[in-house]
Chains A and B, each alone.
Chain A
Amino acid sequence: MPNPLRSLFAWLKRRRPAFLRPSLDSRSVQRILQERLARSPEAVEKGNDVLTGVRIGRRLDANLSVIRQLVGDAPDLVVRELVIAGGAGSPSGARAAVVFFDTLSHAERAASQVIKPLLYDAVRDGVQVPADPQRLADWICTRMINTANVETRADLQQLVQDLCQGKTAVLVEGVDVAIVLDLVGYDTRNVEEPMGEPVVRGPRDGFVDSLQTNLSLIRRRIGSPLLRFDRMILGRWTQTPVVIAYIHGIADPDLVQEVRRRLSAIDVDGVIDTSYIEEFIEDTPYTVFPQVLNTERPDTVVANLLEGRVAILADGTPFALVVPTSLWALMNAAEDYYQRWDGATLVRMLRYALVALVVLLPSSYVAATTFHPEMLPSTMLISIAAAREAVPFSSFTEVLLMEITFEALREAGVRLPRPIGQTIGIVGAIVIGEAAVSAQIVSAPVVIIVAFTGISSFVIPHFNVGIGFRIARFYILLLAGSLGLLGISIGLMLLILHLISLRSFGQPYLAPVSPMRWSELADTFVRLPRWLMRRRPEPVRAPTRRRRDFPAQETGTQGEGAVRASDQG
């Protein structure tokens, strides 16, 4: 069958009215389901297709056995069968089952808030259990269950989805809907100070790995009802809940729409961290500079929402994404906004100066010693020449050697277990630095320069921008070693050109400096006092669509039967 026809049929199948949908009551539906599920791993993926539109049946046993089979007789699936004790009207009571994963839900809360009322409270209060199935379901929802969040589901697939997300289901004999309760509960980290972005002064809480907690950290900071959380599900297998947060009325609707569009275009097996999302939604994939800000700080997210940006949070990771962003935003630390403005401004300028050194200092040294010794002041030239006298390598080789050593030390320091990390410091500082100089493998000025460059690279608040500049440093170094000052200038020009041409969700990467927006300069390499920053940044108008999508998008769609959760909304 041609593909468009097939997808048309699939669409029609999804949209058909309830009475056309197969119900689990039908023996043939049960049989087909069981056959297909038993077949092979690929068939399980297609199982989604099989499930599409199947309704929950009236017969409890059939429902339970299909659910059990769908989750592969999971040992952590709890099926508590019980009888809702009836009053005089139906002395036998109604058979029911409470179903949940005890790895995802609070078993005690299920017991106290669902099972206990159904078992005992009805008996104790002598309430009449309605005989009519529809009224029975309503009665359970409204009278018996004391959880805040109660919904009913008629769709089997949706029900299983909910179970896998940690919801609890109540199925009742004779009722063709399931009652779904939110008793989600599992262990997460406590809210702690974020490790990666500490502050001296300012809010101390950081995001954790649970979406629910993270959203609460944002919601409790923004009292306005205009704060919006748009939920969607990403990841074919992980079915990860992802939330787009923005403030309605501040964020440009086009921007929000564009974020939604880019997110819903993502088709991957799993979203483990927001970095998975980041790679898919970047405007320019081929660059060393991140075009999306990531942060573990709720206050940073809130500050950005207030400036009309959009945050993306995913379950299972403490890192939120903020779009659009600019190089200047990535060079800012949260602390800048909590310190006095004069101090913050000086710190920012220091940061930019040091970043310039990170990119230019090693290459300038190489260019000056190799090509332009006449440009150094004579005393400095003499001392450098004296230090280099016995060194067998060219200064380019020297610097490259030491830079690579430094990068190796840093990487080792990050990867090693913390107690051993100290050793690396000692080995690096004493053995390599000191010994290399005294053995005259490298000259002392090179060690100084590389060490200083290394320290400077740590002042960049966002780690991933730091990586970008570190890579840029090697590129300029290479040019300086081969073409001297000309190489540095041309390399720097191409680097700046590249930065200028980058965009983050349509916003120029170097805005508001280039293109110049005077009113927003107050928060770039300076931070003016808050009472001078009266205007919000201009909303980004009409984000340009990314010119091309990723190859991954094209290859990732072979499982045509799979229905993306985002399509269901």
Chain B
Amino acid sequence: MTGEAPAAPPPGEPPATPPTADAGSPTERATIVVTDDLERSRLTTFFRLILVIPHLIVLALFSILALVLAIINWFWALFTRNTVAHDMQARYLRYATHVFGYLNLIANPFPGFEGAPGSYPLDPQVPEPEPQNRWKTGFRLVLVVPALMLATTLGVAGSSSYSGNYSVGLITTVAFLAWFAILAIGRMPRGLRDLGVYCLNYGIQYWAYVLIVTDRYPDSDPLTKDYGPDPAPDQPIRISEDAELRRSRLTVFFRFLLFLPHLIWLLLWGIVVQFTVIANWFVTLFAGRPADPLHRFNGAYLRYVTHVYAYVSLVANEFPGFVGAPGTYPVDLHIAPRERQNRWKTGFRLILAFPAMILASAVGGLLFFVALFGWFVGLFLGRMPLGLRNLGVFALRYSAQASGYLWVLTDRYPFSGPSLEQLPLEQPPTESAPLPEPA
């Protein structure tokens, strides 16, 4: 990352190209190559927790060896800038990724015990050994703390708590929901798989950093990951963001207090929306499609919620308006015009939305992390790291999709994979009639 943010396009204009992170070349950071075909065996899925036990035993023993090597390498790198037994550590990272991919249903085949490269649909690419910075090595345990917190939020840190608060982590939520989905349809939902890949990808980068395999800091950007050759399916609710990473330190410091007027308005408007959502549900159930005014009204509220949460979580810099008008904010929600909806899906929407709401709650943890670290980084550097910002954009988009589904704005199920953000937003869908300009 250069630290220099390019000029922001006018509010409302989608970026010309999807934003990317300067994350270094693929060989500099560990990454996972995905060749998984989403097919899953119901039988092995049902017994997955039991089947994985032998691997967990081997992994535990392997972990002890990896830890000892990491301690040796810490001293060695501190004096010589180089590490020893790199192949062994790389094998450990591959094997751990295979095992956790299998455990969390991110991949289907039973993995081998060797951690051999190219042997699994989730194939970790561990960077080649290179001289490491002594300062980064010496202070590794301190430097790793933010990454540890994100890894814990994702559930790939190997611990479930960093502050005494127990957390199962995002990947466990993914696995829990995927277990039911696979047993029902015999396939892994693409979005859940991609989200799991993101978690594992961050996990391998985190562990490569912790185990002194590389001194490249883990990259939280979901846009730089490989989610397989097929693009994610498009969705009626999408998000766009500008390239602005500059943050005003003054507004960062007081961000929560500046959010308060919006909070009041969110609550007041939200009371009305509760009734309009119910009304729209009835209309959709009987007419087969939402009422246009209600669709636009609820859509405006959802867009407003996205604007406000983008602001308070430092995903965006500018103070948002109060009416949720499309095209008025750098992080904008694009909601397709109302369309015909399946009555069955409408009738049982509350039940059907339950898994999405569970996942949205877990993704909300990511947004909290983004806000927390974005606050510190924004205050000190006056800008938001691109990876953190993009992670926040993903969290906001998924939360908006989950709410949009629950509020009958669409009957398309929310797509939980961060891979959707890699899909260019060429022709942002717009609502049938624009809302009035903000006051």
Do A and B assemble together?
no
Binding site for B on A (CB under 8 A): none
